[in-house]
Amino acid sequence: MPQPIAPLNSRLEAIGVNRDPALSGRWLALISGRGGREQVLLLDLERHQPIDLPGLNRADAQPVSVSVDAAGERIALVRQLEGRTELVLYRRSAQSLQPIPMLPSGVARQVQLQADGRQLAVEVSRGGIWQVDLVQIP
Amino acid sequence: MPLRHFQNRQPHSSPSLSWNGRYVAALVQQGNQRLALIEDRVSGNLHRLPLPADNTAVRLSLSPEARQLAVQVTQAGQWRVQLFDLRSLLEPDLPGGTAVQGGGAQTSP
């Protein structure tokens, strides 16, 4: 029977209100809210510690969906910023954020990064129709 | 591609696959309950995640190696994420393994 991981679950409880979990390797990415503000959180499940993500979270952005690769290096994020929804890729070692264009244009929702970080799948609404795009990542 | 244990429990949502596709985790509907299930497409076994009655599963994520499962639940109107250890339950599905083809084994659990 699956066993709850009590220490980590307690840790998550203490962090705040959490949603949209994404597991890969030793990493758990999720969207965590406290005091009315949500942000992306990356937890190292071996050390039970949150990892700093400089340059990823913005006070004026609303995260929608997040995913991490098995190395904990790449994080794909759908977020709303200045009235637009965008898909971005964060590289942790470089602390860089790269927009990924939707072609043709559309509104992204859920994103899932392949465990090796080489491609992602994203739900996109185009003209009221939900589609899934696969995007290769260089 | 039909999944043996999911067919009569619709609708499905939040699908999550292990590295080689051996395990499929998803939320399914059974009566008025939302259940989190993991199907082993090699053995045909079905594993049900035990959740307290006042928790409703909303979304899940299976780790690619099938060592852990993360479940987002609502409890008293509030979202929570809970982690489950699957290592005593499932063989790991490691990268480089053989991809599982077809709809999975037809044996009973």
pLDDT at residue A137, rounded to an integer = 92
**pLDDT(B60) > 60:** yes
Chain B residues in contact with A1 by the CB 8 A cut-off are 50, 89
Structural domain count of chain B = 1
Check B64 against A18: CB less than 8 A apart: no
For residue B30, the Cα-to-chain-centroid distance in whole angstroms is: 14
In a domain, B54, yes or no: yes
pLDDT at residue B107, rounded to an integer = 45
In a domain, B31, yes or no: yes
Which residue from A92, A83, A94 is spatially nearest to A113, judged by alpha carbons?
A92
Quick one: DSSP state of residue A55? T
Q: What is the ipTM of this complex?
A: 0.90
Average pLDDT over residues B89-97: 89
How distant, in Å, are the alpha carbons of A28, A132, B65, B91 from that of A43?
Answer: 5, 27, 17, 24
In a domain, B95, yes or no: no
In a domain, B75, yes or no: yes
Give percent of chain B above pLDDT 90.
Answer: 54
Q: Which contiguous run of DSSP H or E holds residue A13?
A: helix A6-15
Q: What digits encode the pLDDT tens for the residues A58-109? A: 999 999 999 999 999 999 999 999 999 999 999 999 999 999 999 999 999 9
Task: List B residues 5-64 in contact with A (Cβ-Cβ < 8 A).
Answer: 19, 47, 49-50, 58-64
In a domain, B51, yes or no: yes
* Domains, chain A, ordered by start: 6-136 (2.130.10.10)
Q: Is B52 exposed, middle or buried (0-12, 13-18, 19+ CB in 10 A)?
A: exposed
For residue B18, give its domain range. 12-85
